[in-house]
Amino acid sequence: NAGVTQTPKFRILKIGQSMTLQCTQDMNHNYMYWYRQDPGMGLKLIYYSVGAGITDKGEVPNGYNVSRSTTEDFPLRLELAAPSQTSVYFCASSDTGPGSNSPLHFGNGTRLTVT
């Protein structure tokens, strides 16, 4: 049982490049989330999903896109990378949502630098 797996762990992008951050979970969780953590700051929600085919914007969705074609995978797409997207990205999943007795399980993060 691997939990939430994020790849890659580190990535450097040039301005204007695009990439996809991968996230997969093997716990059959319905709810999945993408957060970003800027230095000295808390986590800000980018996008989330409550099940396959259902996604919604979080607090800071601009510059990102997501899809949820399967329960296991929730990739985050960056188009036209900008320096402001330099951050650590965390993917998380939850069985029935944090409003129930089901905490978020986080991946180990992807450290992205855009130069």
Partner 1 sequence: AQKVTQAQTEISVVEKEDVTLDCVYETRDTTYYLFWYKQPPSGELVFLIRRNSFDEQNEISGRYSWNFQKSTSSFNFTITASQVVDSAVYFCALSERSNFGNEKLTFGTGTRLTIIP
Q: Which is nearer to partner 1, 33 or 74 (CB)?
A: 33
- Give the C-alpha separation, 55 to 10, whole Å: 25
**Least distance in Å: CB of 15 to partner 1?**
25
Q: Which is nearer to partner 1, 31 or 64 (CB)?
A: 31
**Least distance in Å: CB of 34 to partner 1?**
12
| Residues at the contact surface with partner 1, assessed by CB under 8 A | 31, 33, 35, 40-45, 48, 50, 54, 56, 58-59, 88, 90, 92, 94, 97-99, 101, 103-106, 108-109
**Least distance in Å: CB of 76 to partner 1?**
16
Q: Which is nearer to partner 1, 14 or 41 (CB)?
A: 41
Q: Which is nearer to partner 1, 54 or 80 (CB)?
A: 54
Nearest to 53 by CA among 87, 22, 30, 35: 30
